[in-house]
Amino acid sequence: MSEATETIFSKIIRREIPADIVYEDNLALAFKDVHPQAPVHILVIPKKPIPTLADAESQDHALLGHLLLTAKRVAEVAGLKSGYRVVINTGDDGGQTVYHLHLHILGGRQLDWPPG
């Protein structure tokens, strides 16, 4: 497992950097992306620092399920009734730029496939 390092998301969790937070519980935090790629672009992050999905371990199974259910709840509150996409970028080739596991909720318009 990769060692967790300090990231911008760690600082958002500790409120050292402001974010437009739309949901929080004891395990997760959701906030609007500062560089949205769709009309609705919200990130869901675990408060536990897991660098990538590839670094998740068997003891994280409940947390990973919680993140997906959180994405569902956040999408509902955001009014994404016609659908949305949930994306997890993993590693450099997967397009991950912040090495703290996060889910992108994208919606508010028709999304193309395949993605870029």
Q: Residue 53, SS3?
A: helix
The active-site residue out of 35, 61, 102, 104 is 102
Is 20 within 8 Å of 81 (Cβ atoms)? no
Annotation says 102 is catalytic: yes
Is 44 within 8 Å of 102 (Cβ atoms)? yes
For the full predicted model, state whether its pTM sits above 0.85.
yes
115: confidence class by pLDDT, cuts 50, 70, 90: confident
Cβ count within 10 A of residue 116: 5
> What is the structure's pLDDT at 116?
62
